[in-house]
Chains A and B, each alone.
Chain A
């Protein structure tokens, strides 16, 4: 079929001459507009390969079902009761886990020719990277929504109500945006998609497990508590839990905000350094 079309169609010289007549160029787009355009590109990719939404739907559902019924009876009196504690944490874990796909996407894309084109355009330099993360925010919202819906079905009842949940998801999105810069950096640094995934496991497993997601840190040995308490995931989970339970945790919230700014500044800068050097 491809061959037939190739035979039938040829460039049209008159039309070609017409499109080549020099046009005045519009002014260069703003940083925001360029970033949003790259975000649109990420969304188009989801549209063309919808299967990739599997990790933001099936994976969170699996996580919540698995841990609710695995630990529920042992750690609380019943799975439903444990779910009241677990849900905010499992939402954070699932979303933070899928942030690493940003790195995989950057890594698989960066060697392709299209990146050369982007890098020769007179646009705000970080726009392609910000675009990835903007596109991924959509995935994070989908994952959070999936978890919340499954949680509600299983008997989770957020005391903070709708507003509390929205605020909680908002904090989670802000942190995930910042945390994604870690992966854009590794995406540019690593030589293959597999090594990006390998590193991400090394980072994500301790961060998500050595935290307050599954159990109260009070039972842990002192040295472990020391780590758990400064772990950004712990602070994020406390902030999210606070909003969902209707009693905002100002301390955890300011820690989370601090981490959000720090991750964006440090890893954003490192990402751009690597991007400009590629």
Chain B
């Protein structure tokens, strides 16, 4: 059963094709990640699926309901936690949840009861009578998600749920997302962080300039972009040019010179650890002293460059 299915989805703003022929098939009961940089079309895709925008072309269905033909049926199944807190900042936490409960058809009394329950579960009881504008970023995000699951949705859209949060709050949000999925809700998550998609999503679509440029499980995507990078710090900045030449030859890869005058970074291919060991050995043999080094996971930039390069080559 598919929670989301789109074919050739298009949304144009003026001259920009914000979403340019997106095909998605999101299985129910999973976390599906939409990964991409700012302006890639992630948010627009979510807004199309959440019935906030009307597609210019293509088909989008949520649990079999067409977003254009039957938006109310879609709205009854989905919840949205937008990029900017989708709660009323002037109201208190309790008031926000009661407001939402009543709009979902609860009586005042049952809306309040459910609201209290949610505030308790999200650790917001102490802050319930404060205006949301006085909440920290993490608390606001939690309230936002609490509001989204007031009526347990079939499909939850989380648009960059951890952007701007400290690591602790980010982990709490991740725990909440896992609990939501365990309870049977499908989650469509947009993120700029590979790490986040890695933690939560079972399948990932990488989006750039309105198009899906890669799609698959985490393992498939990682395998397709190489393993990572090596970051080296030299003792003597004067040796950097020499180190650069040497590494270019040994690794057969582009070497980036960092803004730090003693540091450089190289991309690694399939056999990352062997390559890194070989590179360090060669540096030592050439008399270039390495102060320290680190191996990095591919960053989103790297995944991105790798995928877009592939796209252009094809």
Q: Which residues of A contact B (CB under 8 A)?
A: 2-3, 5-6, 8-13, 15-23, 25-29, 33-34, 37, 40-41, 44-45, 48-49, 112-114, 116-123, 127
User: Is the beta-carbon distance between A40 and B99 smaller than 8 angstroms?
Assistant: yes
* Contacts A41-B88, A45-B91 supplied; 7 other A-B pairs, CB < 8 Å: A9-B126, A16-B121, A20-B185, A26-B106, A37-B99, A112-B88, A119-B51
Q: Mark contacts of B87-115 with chain A using CB atoms, 8 A cut-off: 1 yes-contact digit, 0 otherwise.
A: 11111000100011011111100100010
3 residue pairs, one from A and one from B, having the closest CB atoms: A20-B183, A9-B123, A26-B105
User: Is the beta-carbon distance between B118 and A113 smaller than 8 angstroms?
Assistant: no
User: Is the beta-carbon distance between B118 and A19 smaller than 8 angstroms?
Assistant: yes
User: Is the beta-carbon distance between B103 and A123 smaller than 8 angstroms?
Assistant: yes
Q: Which residues of B contact A (CB under 8 A)?
A: 47, 50-52, 72, 75-76, 78-80, 82-91, 95, 99-100, 102-107, 110, 114, 117-118, 120-127, 131, 134-136, 138-139, 142, 147-149, 151-152, 168-169, 172, 175-176, 179-180, 182-185
B80 in complex: contacting residue of A21, A45, A120, CB < 8 Å:
A120
Residues of chain B with a CB closer than 8 A to A3's CB: 136
Contacts A23-B151, A26-B105, A27-B105; is A17 near B99 (CB within 8 Å)?
no
Q: Which residue of B lies closest to A111 (CB)?
A: B84
Residues of chain A with a CB closer than 8 A to B125's CB: 9
User: Is the beta-carbon distance between B90 and A10 smaller than 8 angstroms?
Assistant: no
Q: Which residue of B lies closest to A20 (CB)?
A: B183
Q: Looking at the assembled complex, report how far the CB atom of B150 sits from the nearest CB atom of chain A, in whole angstroms.
A: 9
Q: Which residue of B lies closest to A7 (CB)?
A: B168
Once the chains are docked, how many angstroms separate the CA of A8 from the CA of B47?
Answer: 35
Q: Looking at the assembled complex, report how far the CB atom of A112 sits from the nearest CB atom of chain B, in whole angstroms.
A: 7
Q: Which residue of A lies closest to B180 (CB)?
A: A20
Contacts A16-B176, A37-B102, A116-B52; is A48 near B91 (CB within 8 Å)?
yes
Residues of chain A with a CB closer than 8 A to B51's CB: 119-120
A20 in complex: contacting residue of B87, B126, B136, B152, CB < 8 Å:
B152
User: Is the beta-carbon distance between B102 and A112 smaller than 8 angstroms?
Assistant: no
Once the chains are docked, how many angstroms separate the CA of A29 from the CA of B99?
Answer: 12
Residues of chain B with a CB closer than 8 A to A120's CB: 50-52, 75, 78-80
Residues of chain A with a CB closer than 8 A to B135's CB: 2
Once the chains are docked, how many angstroms separate the CA of A3 from the CA of B134?
Answer: 11
User: Is the beta-carbon distance between A112 and B147 smaller than 8 angstroms?
Assistant: no
Residues of chain B with a CB closer than 8 A to A23's CB: 114, 151-152
Residues of chain B with a CB closer than 8 A to A48's CB: 90-91, 131
Contacts A11-B172, A44-B95; is A117 near B126 (CB within 8 Å)?
no
Once the chains are docked, how many angstroms separate the CA of A2 from the CA of B180?
Answer: 26
User: Is the beta-carbon distance between A28 and B105 smaller than 8 angstroms?
Assistant: yes
Contacts A16-B179, A48-B131; is A2 near B86 (CB within 8 Å)?
no
Q: Which residue of B lies closest to A21 (CB)?
A: B183
Once the chains are docked, how many angstroms separate the CA of A41 from the CA of B87?
Answer: 12
Q: Which residue of B lies closest to A8 (CB)?
A: B126
Residues of chain A with a CB closer than 8 A to B183's CB: 17, 20-22
28 pairs, CB–CB < 8 Å, chain A vs chain B? A2-B134, A5-B136, A9-B126, A13-B175, A16-B122, A16-B176, A17-B182, A20-B179, A20-B183, A22-B183, A23-B152, A25-B105, A26-B106, A29-B103, A33-B102, A40-B99, A41-B91, A41-B99, A44-B91, A44-B99, A48-B91, A112-B84, A114-B86, A117-B86, A117-B147, A119-B51, A120-B75, A122-B76
User: Is the beta-carbon distance between B90 and A117 smaller than 8 angstroms?
Assistant: no
Residues of chain B with a CB closer than 8 A to A27's CB: 105
Q: Looking at the assembled complex, report how far the CB atom of B285 sits from the nearest CB atom of chain A, in whole angstroms.
A: 51
Once the chains are docked, how many angstroms separate the CA of A114 from the CA of B149?
Answer: 15
Contacts A27-B105, A121-B75; is A19 near B134 (CB within 8 Å)?
no
User: Is the beta-carbon distance between B169 and A6 smaller than 8 angstroms?
Assistant: yes
Once the chains are docked, how many angstroms separate the CA of A41 from the CA of B92?
Answer: 11
User: Is the beta-carbon distance between B104 and A26 smaller than 8 angstroms?
Assistant: yes
User: Is the beta-carbon distance between B103 and A19 smaller than 8 angstroms?
Assistant: no
User: Is the beta-carbon distance between B121 and A10 smaller than 8 angstroms?
Assistant: no
A117 in complex: contacting residue of B47, B82, B149, B151, CB < 8 Å:
B82
Of the candidates A26, A34, A41, A116, the one having the most CB atoms from chain B within 10 angstroms of its own CB is A116
Of the candidates B78, B79, B125, B151, the one having the most CB atoms from chain A within 10 angstroms of its own CB is B151
Residues of chain A with a CB closer than 8 A to B121's CB: 11-12, 15-16, 18-19
Q: Looking at the assembled complex, report how far the CB atom of B51 sits from the nearest CB atom of chain A, in whole angstroms.
A: 6
Contacts A11-B142, A18-B121, A20-B183; is A122 near B72 (CB within 8 Å)?
yes
User: Is the beta-carbon distance between B118 and A117 smaller than 8 angstroms?
Assistant: no
User: Is the beta-carbon distance between A45 and B90 smaller than 8 angstroms?
Assistant: yes
Q: Which residue of B lies closest to A27 (CB)?
A: B105
Contacts A15-B120, A22-B152; is A119 near B52 (CB within 8 Å)?
yes
Residues of chain A with a CB closer than 8 A to B89's CB: 112, 114
Q: Which residue of B lies closest to A15 (CB)?
A: B121
Q: Looking at the assembled complex, report how far the CB atom of A40 sits from the nearest CB atom of chain B, in whole angstroms.
A: 7
Q: Which residue of B lies closest to A25 (CB)?
A: B151
User: Is the beta-carbon distance between A10 and B172 smaller than 8 angstroms?
Assistant: yes
